[in-house]
Amino acid sequence: MLEVKDLVVAYGRVNAVKGITFEVGKGQVVTLLGTNGAGKSTTLRSISGLLKPVSGEIWFEGERLDGLPAHKIVERGIAQSPEGRRLFRQMSVEDNLKLGAFSRKDTSGVKADMDRVYDLFPVLGERRTEAAGLFSGGEQQMLAIGRAMMCRPKLLMLDEPSMGLSPIMTQTIMRTIKELQADGVTILLVEQNAQAALSLADKGYVLEVGHIVFSDSGRNLLGDDRVRRTYLGAD
Amino acid sequence: MDLLDLFLQQLINGLSLGSLYALIAVGYTVVYGIVQLINFAHGEIFMIGAFGAYATWMLMGQPTDWNAPMSILVLLPVLIIGGVAASVTVALLTERYAYRPLRNAPRLAPLISAIGVSVFLQEAVRLFYGEIPGFPTAKSAIPFPSIPGISGSAFQFGGVTVQMTAVFTVGALAVCTVFLWFFVNRTKTGRAMIATSQDPDTARLMGINVDKVIMAAFAVGAALAAIAGVAHGLRYSNIDFRMGFLAGLKAFTAAVLGGIGNINGAVVGGLVLGVVEAMATTFIPGQFGSAAWKDVWAFVLLILVLVFRPQGLLGAKVVDRA
Ligand SMILES: Nc1ncnc2c1ncn2[C@@H]1O[C@H](COP(=O)(O)OP(=O)(O)OP(=O)(O)O)[C@@H](O)[C@H]1O
Ligand SMILES: [Mg+2]
């Protein structure tokens, strides 16, 4: 469904992503692991069209994406919940969700999807008219995910959805990801919490300073010594 | 004339002048709120609006014999449309060719480009003087057509006179403010504008075409500036290629006064500035209260606000709910 080939992305003259190749199959949950600064967010931002790659190719459902402006990529069915949530803090929950559906014209479908987000995260429904900035970190994360779902993406990219969340909240988020997968949404997940991510990922890629150093199924990576040492804190 | 009458008279004069500033100030603030650019050429966009209306009047064969209702219902709207079309076109062209290529350049680059555009537009208009048949050769001021029905005094109470042009200017600001509120809060493009001013990258992730939003910001600002240009022409009965300089500077002051990036702030800032100027010329004694000093007081006010309330009267930064 999504194919990234030899992707190189730079900030100024410094390459942050140095030629990575990976694939996300339809209906899968795929995770990108890596230490701070490995290039995970940079990768997602280039898939979304916020960054222009220096070289390499990004293909989605047989169509080449790199070079398209970000709003066209959203129209193709790719949504991103960015690192640090990036909500429109002064706007209400409802307005944030409406902006998530900006590219859509089917008003009734938008309404239905909004109700679905409220079903998934009842606290958002109860306080839908309050400004997003007034919510707790975990609640804001729910809103960020909900907002990304509002464009009915085929591919949903989540950049560290569990950042700063309690274990119980992290579990809720991970359960939501599973539910979305069951609904047929393909997911590309960037996580610091490798344990949680690998437990539900079909496949994982490990990035180090802009390179993919290895990849395997989620289950195998959970048992992999290198992963256990670096990302799961085991000796 | 007693003191109260004098005060009320100056209040009305100030509000009318302030409405002019406010209409121009919105353009500075909206563009700044979205691209953090101080569009120094915006004063010239206001000037182009006045000239656009004037050119339209010439194309119509310089009609002078229309009756008042026809003038107000047909002639004036047509002139306004002509001015708005000219301003919006020029504003979009400058955005496309002078600012957009510099969007990722250091902040200073677009600012210098804006100053260049400002000089370019002034000179371009000046060079038309005497070149086009019917365009006066006068190097200073061109008489702006007076619209029957929008001249003389509208009404009078006690010793206070309200001019028709004042009614028009304040009315134009009121209508534009309502329109702007509706646009920002109730249309999709308006919502996209708020989102873009708060976080452009995230706005793009929502599927918002940020280029379009920026164009909308320039267009809205230019349209209001053009209306101000017509109001200016009617109020002072003449226009010239330099008129954008001081008016632009004052309107920029108004935008900063109200809180740059804040639409309500631009309106309030414009009105406050207009009233302060009008009051200063009347109630400050001696030569300091002379008309020559009014610009000094305007900028003194700006400095005071910048020192004691740098975020402006209503607070700065984002294009807030208008
Ligand atoms: N806006 C930027 N300008 C310059 N360099 C940047 C910028 N954003 C990221 N970088 C650099 O690019 C590299 C990759 O950053 P990126 O944000 O993709 O890492 P990451 O894997 O998402 O890390 P983290 O886990 O900390 O979020 C880092 O070395 C970082 O310093
Ligand atoms: Mg990151």
ipTM: 0.93
Whether residue B145 is contained in a domain is answered as: yes
Whether B207 sits inside 8 A of A80 (CB atoms) is no
Q: What is the pLDDT of residue B134?
A: 67
State the average pLDDT over residues B268-273: 96
Atom of ligand 1 at shortest distance to CA of A192? 25
| pLDDT over 60 at B55, yes or no | yes
Lowest average pLDDT, out of B5-19, B131-145, B186-200, B237-251, goes to: B131-145
- The residues facing A192 across adjacent strands are none
| pLDDT over 50 at A69, yes or no | yes
Digit-coded pLDDT (tens) for A96-128: 999 999 999 999 999 999 999 999 899 999 999
Q: Residue A83: CB within 6 Å of ligand 1?
A: yes
Whether residue B1 is contained in a domain is answered as: no
- Residue from A36, A158, A193, A231 whose mutation best tests the ligand 1 pocket (most atoms within 8 A of CB): A36
- Which residue in B246, B256, B258 sits closest to B296, CA to CA? B246
Lowest average pLDDT, out of A72-81, A166-175, B174-183, goes to: A166-175
For the CA of A231, the nearest ligand: 1
Digit-coded pLDDT (tens) for B124-133: 998 888 777 7
On whether any CB of chain B is under 8 Å from the CB of A71, the answer is yes
Using an 8 Å CB-CB cutoff, list chain B residues near A49: 204
State the average pLDDT over residues B109-128: 93
Digit-coded pLDDT (tens) for B176-216: 999 999 999 999 999 999 999 999 999 999 999 999 999 99
Digit-coded pLDDT (tens) for B73-88: 999 999 999 999 999 9
Whether A98 sits inside 8 A of B318 (CB atoms) is no
Q: What is the pLDDT of residue A235?
A: 57
A88 is written with which tokens? 């429109």
| Sheet strands (E) in chain B | 142-143, 153-157, 160-163, 238-239
Q: Residue A40: CB within 6 Å of ligand 1?
A: yes
Whether residue B316 is contained in a domain is answered as: no
Q: What is the pLDDT of residue B231?
A: 97
Q: Which residue has the higher pLDDT, B151 or B181?
A: B181
Given pLDDT bands bounded at 50, 70 and 90, which one contains residue B320?
A: very low
Q: Residues lining ligand 2 (ion), CB within 5 A?
A: A 41, 83
Digit-coded pLDDT (tens) for B165-176: 999 999 999 999
Roughly how many angstroms between the first and final C-alpha of chain A, as a whole number?
37
For the CA of A210, the nearest ligand: 1
Q: What is the pLDDT of residue B316?
A: 63
Which among A50, A70, A99 is the nearest to B195, CB-wise? A99
Q: Residue A46: CB within 6 Å of ligand 1?
A: no
On whether any CB of chain B is under 8 Å from the CB of A123, the answer is no
State the average pLDDT over residues B35-49: 95
Q: What is the pLDDT of residue B317?
A: 52
- Residue from A40, A163, A213 whose mutation best tests the ligand 1 pocket (most atoms within 8 A of CB): A40
Q: How remote is the CA of residue B100 from the centroid of ligand 2, in Å?
A: 29
Can you tell me which residue has the tokens 């003191």? B3
Whether residue B298 is contained in a domain is answered as: yes
- Which residue in B53, B47, B28 sits closest to B218, CA to CA? B28
Q: Which residue on chain A is closest to B195 by alpha carbon?
A: A88
| Domain harbouring B140, CATH code | 1.10.3470
Q: How remote is the CA of residue B11 from the centroid of ligand 1, in Å?
A: 56
Whether residue B321 is contained in a domain is answered as: no
Domain count, chain B: 1
| pLDDT over 50 at B253, yes or no | yes
State the average pLDDT over residues B285-304: 86
Whether residue B276 is contained in a domain is answered as: yes
Q: Which residue has the higher pLDDT, B133 or A42?
A: A42
Q: B108: distance to nearest CA of chain A, Å?
A: 19
Lowest average pLDDT, out of A53-57, A109-113, B164-168, B299-303, goes to: B299-303
Q: How far is CA B198 from the centre of its chain?
A: 24
Q: A201: distance to nearest CA of chain B, Å?
A: 24
Q: How remote is the CA of residue A19 from the centroid of ligand 2, in Å?
A: 18
| pLDDT over 50 at A21, yes or no | yes
- Mutation for testing the A interface, residue in B197, B205, B262 having most A CBs under 10 Å: B205
Q: How remote is the CA of residue A163 from the centroid of ligand 2, in Å?
A: 10
Which among B206, B209, B320 is the nearest to A99, CB-wise? B206
Q: Specify whether the CB–CB gap between B319 and B184 falls below 8 A.
A: yes
Q: Residue A34: CB within 6 Å of ligand 1?
A: yes
> Which pTM does this prediction carry?
0.92
Q: Residue A39: CB within 6 Å of ligand 1?
A: yes
Q: How remote is the CA of residue A9 from the centroid of ligand 1, in Å?
A: 11
State the average pLDDT over residues A160-180: 88
- Which residue in A100, A85, A172, A191 sits closest to A135, CA to CA? A85
Q: What is the pLDDT of residue B1?
A: 61
What kind and span of H or E run contains A146? helix A137-149
pLDDT, mean over chain A: 93
Residue B161's alpha-carbon distances to A39, B6, B156, B286, in angstroms, are 69, 10, 5, 25
State the average pLDDT over residues B8-37: 95
Q: How remote is the CA of residue A36 from the centroid of ligand 2, in Å?
A: 7
Q: What is the pLDDT of residue B290?
A: 82
Residues of the domain holding B169: 8-308
Phi, psi (deg, nearest 5) at residue A71:
-65, -25
Q: Specify whether the CB–CB gap between B209 and A70 falls below 8 A.
A: no
Q: How far apart are CA B233 and CA B238, in angstroms?
A: 5
- Long-range contacts from B91-96, C-beta under 8 angstroms, 24+ separation: B91/B45, B91/B218, B91/B219, B91/B221, B91/B222, B92/B215, B92/B218, B92/B219, B92/B222, B94/B41, B94/B45, B94/B218, B95/B214, B95/B215, B95/B218
Q: What is the pLDDT of residue B285?
A: 86
- Mutation for testing the B interface, residue in A46, A89, A102, A106 having most B CBs under 10 Å: A102
Radius of gyration of chain B (CA): 19
State the average pLDDT over residues B271-283: 93
Whether residue B180 is contained in a domain is answered as: yes
Whether residue B85 is contained in a domain is answered as: yes
- Mutation for testing the A interface, residue in B104, B202, B215, B262 having most A CBs under 10 Å: B202
